[in-house]
Amino acid sequence: MLDIGWVVGGLVLLYFGAEWLVRGSSELAIRFGISPLVVGLTVVAFGTSAPELVVSVKANLDGNGGMAIGNVVGSNICNIALVLGVGAVIFPIAIQRQVIRREMPILLVASTVFLLMMRDGVMDRLEAGVLFGGILLYIITSLVEARKEDVEASDDVPPEVIEAARNSGRGRLFFNIFLIILGGITLVIGADRMVVGGEHIARFYGVSEAIIGLTLFAFGTSLPELATSVVAAIKKQGDIIVGNAVGSCIFNLLAVVGVAGLIAPLQGEGVTLIHYGVMLAVAIILMPMMWHRMRLDRWEGVLLVIGYLGFTTWLVLA
């Protein structure tokens, strides 16, 4: 019961830690003249992947590479099948052509490269460095593309955050710095408690730590994306849902695995080619769904959610 409490408490800390980190960083960046669009492409995109990053790094440092890799693989499956699926069920999601032309091909290439790198079950520092280089290239090209757009536009940064940043005084400046520090500390503590509790639960029930990463941790660290998806769907803001989910998947593969693998080589014990294949398959299946009428309909959302529930059930029962 104590370990379950640690996991639940860790999830709560991860959620609020990411929220505080993103809000404080966004306001601070906009205050110093960085456009909301650039903030959305960088600060917000990285912030929503912060739970996956700290959990995977912590697990890898503890020698649980399978839990770290499982968290990334499971999170990507959750982002596509559950986050997008739930959003589409609430309200059909319109798809922008940029997502089809740019983000989805990048996600498919990153997923394929990641799968090939993990065929031997190990992610060494050189391979991790290649992935990390990929996220730097992605950010740079995103910023270059952003210069061609309206610098004031950003669906990822709430209007109230932009307004607060531009009208903030010295007191608000220190408050944002405090939020960033508090968010970072909260993320680290939440990741530590969640990993420790997850390890003990895995041993108690005799399941592999990789399965804990693929299911419990994957769902927990995807809660920020899921919460964003529900709120955005209710407000009929489909761009936020797609950008958040697909962007987080790209960051998970390139930034999270890249950073964790650079710190220490990742041993993906317990995560099989079947799991990697499912991650790649859901991304491939998503392409024709998006291409069809340039939107995700409710019935497609239902299929995605059923697919996620079926995959998770199979993991637990198997």
Write down the pTM of the prediction.
Answer: 0.82
- Domains of the chain listed by start with CATH number: 2-317 (1.20.1420.30)
> CB-based contacts of 109: which residues, under 8 Å, 6+ apart?
none
Residue 126: what pLDDT? 96
The model's pLDDT over 34-78, given as tens digits with 9 standing for 90+, comes to 665 566 556 666 777 778 888 888 888 888 888 899 999 999 999
Give pLDDT, residue 155. Answer: 55
Q: How confident is the model at residue 157 (pLDDT cuts 50, 70, 90)?
A: low
Q: How far apart are CA 225 and CA 230, in angstroms?
A: 9
251: tokens are 């960051």
Mean pLDDT across the chain, nearest whole number? Answer: 83
Backbone angles phi, psi at 154, to 5 degrees: -165, 120
Backbone angles phi, psi at 283, to 5 degrees: -70, -40
Residue 90 CA: distances (Å) to CA of 77, 115, 232, 283, 295? 19, 32, 10, 21, 13
What mean pLDDT comes out for the span 3-12?
82
Q: How far apart are CA 269 and CA 69, in angstroms?
A: 9
Of 90 and 293, the structure prediction assigns the larger pLDDT to 90
C-alpha closest to that of 110 among 133, 82, 90, 81: 133
